[in-house]
Amino acid sequence: MSQTAADLSPTAQSEISGALNQCVAETVVTTMLAQNFHWNVTGMAFGPLHTMFQQIYEDHFVAQDDLAERVKAIGGHAEGKLSGMIERSKVVEHDGHAKAEEMVRLLVEAQRQVAATLAGAAAIAESHGDLLTQDLCIARGQVHEKFAWLLESHIK
């Protein structure tokens, strides 16, 4: 049975909020990774990569808010502590000292990780009948998979 946020049980709220907070954490770290690489990319591919990295971090900044607001809409607490997000995230920070190809490779891995986490969150939401959260996670996962494909096309 499909449920809206107001109909979710406390268990469903907790499980879905936890999954969404994982998505937020990984999106936040990936946002910063893309911005870091935007600032520090050099070489022959500077122009297109500089632009693409900016498109990524701008998209992800909006996504962080959408995901965190969904946590609140279903009655959860949105993790707002950067150190907690970094600790929770499966995407790892980087200092920005890398060649352009390594930056792209790292961002491809990050995009795939976030897409996988979003797919897992979608499955949790579906198991509780929360199709609205499921839809949000699926849509965001598709964006991350597209960014992974676009980035990987630079190094194939």
Per cent of the chain over pLDDT 90 is: 94
Q: How far apart are CA 54 and CA 140, in angstroms?
A: 17
Contact 106, 52 (CB under 8 A): no
Q: What is the average pLDDT across 6-27?
A: 95
* Helix, strand, coil share of the chain (percent; to 5): 75, 0, 25
The full set of domain ranges for the chain reads: 9-152
Q: How confident is the model at residue 62 (pLDDT cuts 50, 70, 90)?
A: very high
Q: Closest Cα partner for 122 from 145, 152, 88?
A: 145
- What integer best gives the mean pLDDT of the chain? 96
Instruction: Say what the pLDDT of residue 1 is.
Output: 63
Q: How confident is the model at residue 98 (pLDDT cuts 50, 70, 90)?
A: very high
Instruction: Say what the pLDDT of residue 5 is.
Output: 80
CATH fold of 9-152, please? Ferritin (1.20.1260)
Instruction: Say what the pLDDT of residue 156 is.
Output: 86
Start-to-end C-alpha separation, the chain: 45
Q: How far apart are CA 156 and CA 154, in angstroms?
A: 6
Total-model pTM: 0.95
Residues 6+ apart with CB under 8 A from 108: 148, 151, 152, 155
Q: How far apart are CA 27 and CA 65, in angstroms?
A: 10
Q: How far apart are CA 142 and CA 156, in angstroms?
A: 21
Instruction: Say what the pLDDT of residue 131 is.
Output: 95
